[in-house]
């Protein structure tokens, strides 16, 4: 343990300057309990530890040191859990020559024991989430397990710690790791009022909602520790049941979610802006109770996706990162293209009409096919309509019918002519869907009419029902 508190046993009350000299004798009270509240959006952990210290009446110097750890010295706070009315911190001193140490001068009105709580921020302890999804053979349902992995590279070993994991994005004005590596005198120079106020608020908020510390027995070995979830302001807190020891340099992964028979839907999507220029196969789930989920938000993490291959084994499909999924929201997993589904866009023909000429030197326009006879040689094309007829060909060689959703975006003033019951996803993006039976093909015909030059009046797409011939 590199982090320790020492009660300095001295003949009389000393000045801060005197502590800079050699200390004759000290006692080192052990930790009674420790709680780690780890934020995943920042390299930040709030440590709350309790110790029992015996005070004598008068002034008691306490030394707190954290050599070779990543503690933010500006965040260290001392609070008395017992006899608080008889104890008072007179001052806190950060010695110039010992950067990872501080002294508290505690005034005691009694002789006896008191419980202390020391809180501080440290960096180097992180947690992350990941998920394992195993679809059944028919891909109608899946088992979903969520895990939290806590990694400790803080330089300190926190034994039998209660671990709380905060899901959410917090604001920090400076990185804890940065503060931990500079002397206190320089931190003072950097510190702003806002930063300080935020720190105090953050400490108080989390401290108020923290459950009681210490004395918790390890959970029974026959069952994995449960991860208890609760909402807190804009955050969600996962509390791992019992206590955990994660030695410095180690990581530990625990299961946080276990759901079976989760409803799974498959959709094929063509959305170039999201998934690139290919039709991709999606697993769609919902984080709600109807889908056998919905007990907790799902923090950012990687989902590893497997499928029962029907041969007493698994097929590895893909690994995909997901963003935070609130309760009730959708989980969309892109599995990439399916070699059994062929998706082709074929341009069948192109033609132009409604061509307008502009006379040279004049602000006069004439339509080419208006029957007015020969148009002046000295004229240029100033506007026209460009028609392109497409076939969206889909061949499904898989063993099941597939649902396909297609989004296509067009720039400029465009009319999308079709009989596909297309809708507008946004002002320039058309969306249409179809189902292709197993072993079948389909040709979805549409025409894109683009108003060009002076014919262009808008920058949007309008839909028009029309039967398009191949």
Partner 1 sequence: MKINRRIGWWIVWVILASAPAAAQARIKLITLPVRERVEIQLDNPSATLVEEERIIPLVKGENQADFSWANTQIDPSTILFRVIAPVGEKNIDVQVLSVSYPPNEASLVWAIAASDSGSARVRISYILGNLDKSFSYRAVAARDESALTLYQYIRLENLANEEFGSTGLWAGFGKRFLRPIGINETKEILMEKFQNVPVRKTYTCDPQEFGYIDPAQKKLRVPMHYVLKNDKADNLGSAALPFGKVRIFIAGSGADQATTFLGEDWGRFTPIDDEMRLYLGVAQDVVVKRTIERNEKIRVAGHLFNRDIIVKYEIQNFKDKPITLDVWENARLIRDEVGGDNGRDVQWDLGDQTNFDGGLDNQKSTFDKLLFHVPLPARDQDGKAQTITRKLHLIVKNEW
Which value, to the nearest 10 degrees, does the dihedral of the CA atoms of residues 354, 358, 359, 362 take? 140
Distances (CA, A) of 63 to 19, 24, 181: 9, 13, 19
Q: How many helices (H) and strands (E) does the chain have?
A: 5, 30
Residues that bind partner 1 in the complex, under the rule CB under 8 A: 130, 132, 149, 151, 159-160, 218, 221-225, 245-255, 302, 304, 306, 309, 311, 313-317, 319, 339-340, 342, 346-352, 355, 357, 366, 368, 374-381, 384, 386, 388-389, 395, 397
Strands 158-167 and 31-39, bridge-based pairing: parallel
| Smallest separation (angstroms) from partner 1 to the CB of 428 | 20
1 alpha carbon, distance to own chain's centre: 32
Q: How many Cβ atoms are within 10 Å of 201's Cβ, its own excluded?
A: 10
| Smallest separation (angstroms) from partner 1 to the CB of 237 | 19
| Smallest separation (angstroms) from partner 1 to the CB of 354 | 11
What backbone phi and psi angles, to 5 degrees, belong to 109? -100, 10
Nearer to partner 1, 50 or 160 (CB): 160
Nearer to partner 1, 111 or 138 (CB): 138
Q: Residue 90: how many CA atoms within 13 Å on its side-chain side? A: 15
For residue 250, what are its two tokens? 């180690």
290 alpha carbon, distance to own chain's centre: 24
Nearer to partner 1, 159 or 186 (CB): 159
User: What would you report as the CA-atom Rg of the chain, rounded to the nearest whole angstrom?
Assistant: 34
| Smallest separation (angstroms) from partner 1 to the CB of 381 | 5
| Smallest separation (angstroms) from partner 1 to the CB of 244 | 8
Nearer to partner 1, 387 or 425 (CB): 387
| Smallest separation (angstroms) from partner 1 to the CB of 401 | 16
Q: How many Cβ atoms are within 10 Å of 216's Cβ, its own excluded?
A: 15
Nearer to partner 1, 9 or 346 (CB): 346
* CA nearest neighbour of 460 among 417, 409, 413, 408: 413
| Smallest separation (angstroms) from partner 1 to the CB of 148 | 10
Cα(33)–Cα(48) distance, integer angstroms:
8
Nearer to partner 1, 197 or 441 (CB): 441
Nearer to partner 1, 58 or 321 (CB): 321
For residue 294, what are its two tokens? 């919905």
């Amino acid at each position: 343990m590199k982090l320790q508190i020492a009660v300095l046993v001295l003949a009389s009350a000393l000045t801060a300057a005197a502590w800079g000299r050699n200390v004759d004798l000290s006692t080192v009270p052990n930790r009674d309990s420790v709680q780690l509240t780890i934020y995943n959006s920042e390299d930040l952990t709030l440590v709350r530890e309790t110790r029992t210290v015996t005070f004598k009446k008068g002034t008691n110097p306490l030394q707190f040191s954290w050599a070779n750890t990543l503690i933010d010295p500006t965040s260290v706070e001392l609070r008395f859990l017992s006899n608080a009315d008889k104890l008072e911190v007179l001052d806190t001193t950060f010695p110039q020559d010992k950067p990872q140490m501080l002294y508290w001068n505690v005034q005691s009105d009694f002789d006896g024991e008191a419980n202390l709580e020391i809180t501080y921020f440290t960096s180097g302890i992180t947690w992350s989430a990941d998920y394992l999804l195993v679809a059944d053979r028919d891909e109608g349902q899946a088992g979903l397990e969520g895990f939290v992995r806590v990694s400790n590279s803080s330089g300190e070993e926190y034994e039998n710690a209660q671990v709380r994991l905060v899901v959410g994005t917090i604001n920090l004005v400076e990185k804890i790791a940065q503060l931990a590596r500079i002397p206190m005198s320089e931190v003072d120079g950097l510190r702003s009022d806002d930063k300080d106020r935020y720190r105090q608020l953050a400490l108080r908020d989390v401290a108020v909602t923290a459950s009681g510390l210490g004395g918790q027995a390890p959970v029974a070995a026959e069952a994995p520790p449960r991860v208890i979830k609760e909402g807190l302001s804009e955050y969600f807190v996962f509390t791992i049941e019992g206590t955990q020891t994660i030695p410095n340099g180690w990581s530990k992964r625990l299961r946080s979610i276990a759901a079976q028979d989760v409803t799974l839907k498959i959709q094929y999507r063509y959305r170039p802006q999201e998934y690139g220029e290919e039709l991709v196969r999606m697993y769609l789930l919902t984080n709600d109770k109807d889908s056998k989920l919905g007990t907790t938000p799902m923090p950012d993490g990687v989902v590893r996706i497997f499928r029962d291959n029907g041969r007493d084994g698994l097929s590895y499909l893909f690994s995909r990162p997901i963003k935070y999924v609130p309760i009730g929201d959708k989980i969309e997993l892109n599995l990439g293209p399916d070699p059994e589904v062929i998706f082709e866009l074929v341009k069948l023909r192109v033609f132009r009409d409604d061509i307008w000429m502009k006379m040279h030197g004049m602000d006069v326009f004439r339509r080419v096919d208006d029957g007015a006879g020969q148009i002046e040689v000295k004229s240029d094309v100033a506007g026209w309509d460009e028609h392109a007829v497409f076939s969206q060909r889909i061949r499904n060689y898989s063993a099941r019918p597939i649902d396909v959703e297609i989004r296509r975006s067009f720039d400029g003033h465009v009319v999308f002519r079709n009989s596909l019951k297309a809708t507008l996803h946004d002002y320039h993006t058309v969306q249409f869907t179809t189902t292709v039976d197993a072993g079948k093909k389909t040709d979805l015909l549409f025409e894109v009419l683009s108003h060009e030059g002076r014919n262009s009046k808008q920058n949007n797409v309008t839909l028009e029902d029309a039967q398009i011939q191949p």
